[in-house]
Amino acid sequence: MIQITPQMVIYVAIAPVDFRKGIDGLASCCKQILGKDPFGGAVFLFRNRSVNSLKVLVYDGQGFWLCIKRLSKGRFSWWPKPASGGVEVILEARELQTLLWNGDPGLACFSDTWRKIG
């Protein structure tokens, strides 16, 4: 079972990726597009071109987890816009949870974080 903890860094790739890619293809995107190490324990989030599916890739120390969520109707209502040529956005775990339920993390009301690590 995969667990997303508040201490995990979550990178959201802004540009869509080819969803025919599996673990190896997405790990390659982590290195080539995002410039990040896919074996570092961070969570990587990718979307397809039509924004109705998301893929989550994470390495847990033993192997990769690849999870997909595809909406049965509509599209995900929120996706980050590139800021000054950036290729990724960093989310907090609670923002990812909101996004996976098709909410807008920017509009969600969260209580203050008791302690931020990192």
* Ramachandran assignment for 101, one of left (phi > 0), alpha (psi -120 to 50 degrees), beta (any other): alpha
- The answer, yes or no, to whether residue 50 has pLDDT greater than 90, is yes
pLDDT at 105 over 80: no
pLDDT at 113 over 80: no
Mean pLDDT, residues 50-75: 94
Mean pLDDT to the nearest integer, 65-92: 84
Half-sphere exposure of 103 (CA within 13 A, CB side): 12
Q: At 111, is the pLDDT very low, low, confident or very high (cuts 50, 70, 90)? A: low
The helix/strand/coil state of 35 is coil
Cα separation values, 27 from 40, 72, 84, 85, 94, Å: 11, 27, 24, 22, 24
pLDDT of residue 116: 54
Q: Band of the pLDDT at 26, cuts 50, 70, 90?
A: very high
How large is the average pLDDT for residues 17-32?
A: 97
Q: What pLDDT was estimated at residue 84?
A: 65
